[in-house]
Amino acid sequence: MKLIDVAGAAIVRDGRVLCAQRRSGKSLAGFWEFPGGKIEQGETPDQALRREIAEELRCGVQVGERVCTSEYDYDFGHVHLTVFLCHLLSGDPVLTEHAQMRWVLPVDMPALDWAPVDADPVRLISAMTF
């Protein structure tokens, strides 16, 4: 099974977390996720996350504390996801890769239909206060 190593950003602003919904035409379309993406060979998770957020959301983030690492077997491969708490450094997120984005209170995050690999980080973050 193909291993897909991914970093996700739980971007926090004003006590809310940025949640992104995958657009149609992509795998897991309609599911919610933390923005981010694949870690390329030679990159650290922090480097990959800063690159992916700049590409996907057209903004800069400070990568902070690791929330957790989770894994899930999909039909397209085994996803290994590490989620980090992040803060905006520059710009405001721009919708380019996702169907929609929302700033959500942590306690309300479990109400969204999350991709399975995101279940553990959502559970942990939803119990946090920012």
Structural domains for the chain: 3-126 (3.90.79.10)
What are residue 72's DSSP bridge partners? 79
- Taking a C-beta distance cutoff of 8 angstroms, is the pair 20, 10 a contact? no
Nearest to 98 by CA among 47, 9, 25: 25
Average pLDDT, integer, range 50-66: 96
What is residue 29's predicted lDDT score, i.e. its pLDDT?
87
pLDDT-derived band at 25, boundaries 50, 70, 90: confident
What are residue 104's DSSP bridge partners? 17
User: What residue has token string 């721009």?
Assistant: 94
In the chain the beta strands, taken as DSSP E runs, fall at 3-13, 16-22, 32-33, 36-38, 60-74, 77-90, 98-104
Three-state secondary-structure class, residue 129? coil
Tokens, residue 106: 């942590």
Average pLDDT, integer, range 113-123: 97
